[in-house]
Amino acid sequence: MYSIMAHYCTWIRKDDHHPDGLVLAVSTLLVGVIAAVAPLPGGAVRTVFEFPNDTYIENLAVRSNGQVLTCDLSKPQLDLFDPAAVGRSKAILVHEFPNSLGLSGIAEYEPDVFAVISGNFSFATGDVGIGSWQIWGVDLRNVGIVSRGGRKQVFPPPKVHLIASVAPAHFLNGISLLSQEHGTLLVGDVNGGAIYRVDVPTGHFEVVLNNTFTAAVPAAPFPLAGVNGVHVRNGDTLYFTNIGKGTFSRVRIHQDGTPAGPITTIAHTFGPPDQFDDFTFDCEGNAFLVTGGGNSIEMITPHGHREVIIAGNVNSTAIAEPTSCAFGRGPFDKNVLYVTTAGGLAVPVDGDEIIGGQLVAVVTRSKGSSC
């Protein structure tokens, strides 16, 4: 299963020794080659920040001011980045969560207020931490970045409160706002193979979907793995991936998150080592899925009519084991897809390369909002 070992890195990494401009120029050349076959070019890839080795960055959310929040599954830290800042972006710690080994998901549920999942998944033993999964509210309203003694930090410290302890869950992972008005979230249990609705005001939770589409199956190198990314669109349609089964599905839902119709599978992965992990949408309804062990970003048109790789390559560490993605929300980066990566920690690139988890920026021809 998971073992955090030292792996020899033979790939020439785009990294700290090169100015970003050079990296961009090189990636643009590569993209030029790929563009000859892919109908959707763009795809210049830039590393915003690389965490130390053995860091598994699992999820992200973008604030309305353009700052990017990331969460670490290998450490219970929520970090903040300012892509608009002059100079290299650094991770600024927002909050360290008690009693947990890591964080697996983030979703904005009120403007600038985020739900964050913590729990005890262990990379050392593979134990998923049944009984340890909790959802927290992190209020970032009026929380900014200040410089203190040359170090950047958030100020004032955000208000953090426990929303729910979801004791029956095996391994909570994907998370989405269901209704802001009702304060409801949908949260996927990747190991338990079900989706819960969680009510923020009361902490009440219940299973809303548990069937063959969400079910977990053995999927090396993971133990049982099922429903992964979950995202609600227009309040009435739930999209979700199943990482074990390699599927991306859609279902109409009622206001309480329960299904209101049949489930349709829109797309399948291109096959191993591709996986469907988390995803997001552009303003035209195209889905952008990260392919995990496939080290790439795949775009799928609204009804699954076309699947194309828009960035990354199975043999490259440019996007090493992506876990999630979200479009920029700042004034100048609405076409930038921010991607979190695991660095190949679970599925090494080309079989043996592991680098630190990263926050990566991919230039696309799409926009997350205001088409």
Ligand X SMILES: *[C@@H]1O[C@H](CO)[C@@H](O)[C@H](O)[C@H]1NC(C)=O
- Binding residues (CB under 6 A) for ligand X: these are 6-9, 52-53, 99-100, 120, 131-132, 134, 192, 194, 207, 210, 313-315
Closest CB to ligand X among residues 8, 151: 8
Q: How far is the CB of 155 from ligand X (least distance, A)?
A: 28
The helix (run of H) or strand (run of E) holding residue 58 is strand 57-62
Q: How far is the CB of 168 from ligand X (least distance, A)?
A: 6
Q: How far is the CB of 318 from ligand X (least distance, A)?
A: 12
Closest CB to ligand X among residues 184, 295: 295
Bridge partners, 251 (sequence order): 238, 263
Burial of 18 (0-12, 13-18, 19+ CB in 10 A): middle
Q: How far is the CB of 207 from ligand X (least distance, A)?
A: 4
Neighbours of 156 (CB within 10 A): 9
Closest CB to ligand X among residues 60, 216: 216
What percentage of the chain's residues is helix, strand, coil (to nearest 5)? 5, 45, 50
Quick check: 21 and 306 in contact, CB under 8 A? Answer: no
Q: How far is the CB of 194 from ligand X (least distance, A)?
A: 4
Helix, strand or coil, per DSSP, at residue 237? strand
In the block, tokens 């079989």 appear at: 351
Quick check: 328 and 62 in contact, CB under 8 A? Answer: yes
Closest CB to ligand X among residues 84, 215: 215
Quick check: 109 and 177 in contact, CB under 8 A? Answer: yes
Q: How far is the CB of 46 from ligand X (least distance, A)?
A: 19
CA 64 vs. chain centroid, Å, equals: 17
Closest CB to ligand X among residues 52, 235: 52
The helix (run of H) or strand (run of E) holding residue 33 is helix 20-35
Closest CB to ligand X among residues 9, 38: 9
Query: Which among 363, 266, 361, 264 has a CA at the least distance from the CA of 322?
Result: 361
